[in-house]
């Protein structure tokens, strides 16, 4: 990790830069695959599945029987862990449901808002080197609570054409009916345009590598809503003298192992703590199976000394991390200063992995600084809010004259007339 001590604010912009992938070549690939999928549908899906996943499939859709029998290949212990996580995630997300509230804004003028589920959603589940069955929970549960009528799950097949059994088990546990062994850009393109096998969706969800992220942004340009412009995973940790260096190192590595393009950052008021964290990273890195990936991510990562915790938080707000860990004393005294972060973890025992799997809040979060303007996935992500208003005769008499004046001032006389004609005719 690169060590920086007491950087000036003029340096913050460069320090907040995420690892950059050469975009021109990436977008060229995305555009080629999108074009072919739009023109040739399933034939293009077969072509790119063979090219990128190294397997030829007779059919993309995973049968219900395969989802049921996947349970045999998932240990009882893992099944119990998934069910525990499911319960916590459901509990947290059920509390997000909003009751209708009817408001009288003026005498005779009542307004309210009702939720309507997005009818058809596509959820993308990475399944290559790290099959993220936890993301099935994080996306499937709020979609079901919201009441989405159709959920299409896409995830890449392995070299044998199979989907990881834990992904299938989790999908079946939730009652997701449509599971497709399609991954990468071609999966996003298929759900953008629709094919004979895969339907076009109304909104796309899910994490992925730079290619999937670019594909989702291209889907958005083609009229399909997306959850957020998320990219590679990241964590920022603020650690003071009360932090446990081994814990901090473990959290940094847990994010670094996601991919070489991930970024991890640790800030502290103590040079000693950062030195101890560096040592703990080296001790633990040797034990990480995805050691080469984590080591590559660490080359793009930062270790920064600041004079105060307040300045650490100020830099964090500038960086706007996906995950923020406050491994500091009396952290509750500082939470009000946090403005921009996807999800915040408080204290030495609130490890980021808990949020990834089982504590309850969603792990699908904004990255690359988008925490300034985006929230993580929630039940609200799967619904639209439709407003209603009912105006009585008395209500229009109450607000009508003001509407007429405003419409005339904007020179929109047909707007004025729509009120005036009602008032003149005594309704």
Residues with catalytic annotation? Answer: 322-323
Burial readout 112-146 (b: 16 or more C-beta within 10 A, e: otherwise): eeebebbebbbbbbbbbeebbbbbbbbbbbbbbbb
Q: For residue 70, what is the DSSP state? A: G
What's the angle, vertex CA 34, arms to CA 31 and CA 39, rounded to 5?
125
User: Which residue shows structure tokens 């699908």?
Assistant: 364
CA distance 158 to 70: 15
| Strand 323-327, strand 234-239: pairing | parallel
**3-state secondary structure labels for all residues of 170-187:** HHHHHCCCEEECCCHHHH
Q: Give the pairing type, strands 323-327 and 343-346.
A: parallel
Asked if residue 403 lies in contact with residue 412, where contact means CB atoms within 8 angstroms, the answer is: no
Tokens of 85: 């996580």
Give residues with Cβ within 8 angstroms of 11, minimum separation 6: 4
Tokens of 423: 């008032």
Instruction: With residue 78 as reference, give the H or E element that holds it.
Output: helix 76-94
The closest of 252, 247, 243 to 270, measured between CA atoms, is 243
Measure the CA–CA gap between 98 and 248, rounded to whole angstroms.
37
Residue 222 CA neighbour count, 13 Å, CB half: 23
Residue 290's φ and ψ, nearest 5 degrees, are: -90, 45
């Amino acid at each position: 990790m690169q060590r920086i001590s007491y950087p000036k604010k003029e340096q913050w912009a460069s320090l907040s830069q995420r690892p950059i992938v050469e975009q021109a070549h990436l977008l060229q690939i995305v555009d080629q695959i999108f074009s072919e999928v739009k023109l040739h549908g399933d034939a293009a899906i077969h072509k790119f599945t063979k090219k990128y996943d190294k397997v030829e499939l007779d059919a993309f859709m995973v049968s219900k029987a395969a989802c049921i029998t996947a349970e045999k290949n998932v240990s009882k212990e893992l099944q119990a862990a998934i069910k525990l996580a499911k319960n916590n995630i459901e509990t947290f997300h059920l509390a997000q449901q909003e009751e209708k509230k009817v408001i009288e804004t003026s005498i005779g003028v009542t307004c309210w808002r009702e939720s309507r589920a997005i009818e058809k959603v596509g959820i993308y589940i990475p399944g290559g080197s790290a099959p993220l069955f936890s993301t099935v929970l994080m996306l499937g549960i709020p979609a079901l609570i919201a009441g989405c009528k159709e959920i299409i799950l896409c995830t890449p097949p392995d070299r044998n054409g199979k989907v990881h059994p834990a992904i299938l088990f989790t999908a079946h546990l939730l009652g997701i009916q449509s599971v497709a062994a399609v991954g990468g850009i071609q999966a996003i393109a298929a759900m953008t345009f629709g094919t004979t096998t895969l339907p076009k969706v109304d909104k796309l969800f899910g994490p992925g590598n730079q290619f999937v992220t670019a594909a989702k942004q291209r889907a958005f340009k083609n009229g399909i809503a997306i959850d957020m412009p998320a990219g590679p995973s990241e964590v920022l940790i603020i650690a003071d003298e009360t932090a446990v260096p081994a814990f901090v190192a473990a959290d940094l590595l847990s994010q670094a192992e996601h991919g070489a393009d991930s970024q991890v950052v640790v800030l502290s008021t103590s040079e000693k703590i950062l030195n101890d964290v560096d040592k703990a990273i080296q001790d633990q890195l040797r034990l990480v199976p995805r050691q080469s990936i984590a080591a590559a991510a660490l080359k793009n990562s930062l270790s920064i000394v600041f004079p105060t915790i307040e300045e650490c938080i100020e830099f964090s707000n500038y960086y706007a991390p996906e995950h923020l860990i406050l491994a500091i004393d009396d952290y509750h005294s500082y939470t009000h200063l946090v403005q921009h972060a996807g999800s915040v973890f408080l204290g030495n025992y609130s490890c980021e992995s808990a949020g990834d799997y089982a504590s309850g809040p969603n792990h699908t979060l904004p990255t690359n600084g988008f925490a300034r303007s985006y929230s993580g996935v929630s039940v609200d992500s799967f619904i639209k809010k439709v407003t209603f208003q009912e105006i009585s005769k008395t209500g229009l008499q109450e607000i009508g004259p003001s509407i007429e004046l405003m419409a005339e001032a904007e020179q929109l006389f047909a707007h004025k007339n729509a009120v005036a004609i009602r008032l003149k005719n005594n309704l």
